Structure 1
Amino acid sequence: MALINTEIKPFTATAFHNGSFVEVSDQDLRGKWAVVFFYPADFTFVCPTELGDLADNYAEFQRLGVEIYSVSTDTHFTHKAWHETSDTIGKITYPMIGDPTGEVTRNFDVLREGQGLADRGTFVIDPDGVIQAMEITAEGVGRNAAELLRKVKAAQYVREHPNEVCPAKWEEGEDTLTPSLDLVGKI
């Protein structure tokens, strides 16, 4: 799984978005920052807490110019039904991609072959369609939108300041590092 710094693969899928079914492709992820957020299945336990957390932080992602795309191997019809029956999922306004064929999930190497479910995979994609950060967690380990926001901000900062890097626990506005021979062995 060596997807960091690789370009996303072509795909086309149908998403449930703001009350409608819309087509989404890899081309929609280009020209802006994107987060592709895979989860195992609709109508489950940890998944709605994660998707709700993203919904609660969606305005901040949007302020940063980032679009969120959640993806499971459920259909777009299932996403619509879940959206209409769950208060937590009902607050989602980002696209919910249905991937019943597993094309998108395979492209990001998070399909559990034989199960037809996605692992909990998170991918931060730059405007050129290149994966800048990724995280895969075990079934029972939920993710945190605030930490994802921090990673997006760091990735954006490094892109805008190519001679600087963000140290551990870096937060927006804090000092960065400029790699050089002078720093070797002094941190």
Structure 2
Amino acid sequence: MSIIGSSLKPFKAEAYKEGKFVTVTEADVAGKWAIFFFYPADFTFVCPTELEDLADNYAEFQKLGVEIYSVSTDTHFSHKAWHDSSPAIGKISYTMLGDPSGQITNNFGVMREGVGLADRGTFLVDPEGVIQFTEVTAEGIGRNATELLRKVKAAQYVAAHPGEVCPAKWEEGEKTLAPSLDLVGKI
């Protein structure tokens, strides 16, 4: 069953954000665009490169009204220790959700069965709490924040312009398509 078009499930988690421990629930996400960015574990190899890339681009996501929630099955305590000890992770000002129970990871369907770690999953949730985008990669394949920004812009464009769709490699300001009978077979 596809998770696209499904609603964000209820959750409650402790998180580390900007030097503080905070509690986050699905109610905190309501009414905003949000990215849930799952990764296997703190203190690893590919994960800090991805999280640093998001940190370096966080201001651009914020300009689009998008909040980022990184999620692993580590605790919020582990997130703080990692933040305090890693120059790459020390750049992060977005919310780092701890999910030791696996509730959120299971809600999104990215828990590695029998392992207790999340796959590399990226999910875009719209302000109504509906999942609009998902991407899951194998452990050794890192993600790209710039490409994620492009996809967020496309999702926001489509949401604001019913009846239009964004073609492959669409960039903000480029032509879109208006699906119709007249367009069938002409692309």
TM-score (norm 1): 0.99
For structure 2, the 5+ residue unaligned runs are none
Moved over 3 A (4+): none
How much has 1:27 moved relative to structure 2? 1.2
How much has 1:26 moved relative to structure 2? 1.0
Write the distance in 2 (CA, Å) between the matches of 1:92 and 1:51: 7
Look up the match of 1:11. Answer: 11
Look up the match of 1:134. Answer: 134
For structure 1, the 5+ residue unaligned runs are none
Q: Residue by residue, what CA displacement relative to the aligned partner does 1:68-117 show, whole Å, maximum 9, x if unpaired?
A: 00000000000000000000000000000000000000000000121100
Residues 28-39 of structure 1: pairs in structure 2 closer than 5 A: 28-39=28-39
Q: Residue by residue, what CA displacement relative to the aligned partner does 1:120-143 show, whole Å, maximum 9, x if unpaired?
A: 000000000000000000000000
Look up the match of 1:158. Answer: 158
- Which amino acid in 1 is paired with 2:33? W
Write the distance in 2 (CA, Å) between the matches of 1:132 and 1:88: 29
Look up the match of 1:26. Answer: 26
**Over the residues paired in the alignment, what is the CA RMSD in angstroms?**
0.5
TM-score (norm 2): 0.99
3-state SS in 1 of match to 2:42: coil
Write the distance in 2 (CA, Å) between the matches of 1:7 and 1:170: 26
- Which amino acid in 1 is paired with 2:161? H
Write the distance in 2 (CA, Å) between the matches of 1:155 and 1:116: 31
Q: For this pair of structures, how many residues does the alignment match?
A: 187
How much has 1:29 moved relative to structure 2? 1.3
How much has 1:28 moved relative to structure 2? 1.2
Look up the match of 1:58. Answer: 58
- Which amino acid in 1 is paired with 2:82? W
Percent identity of paired positions between Structure 1 and Structure 2: 73
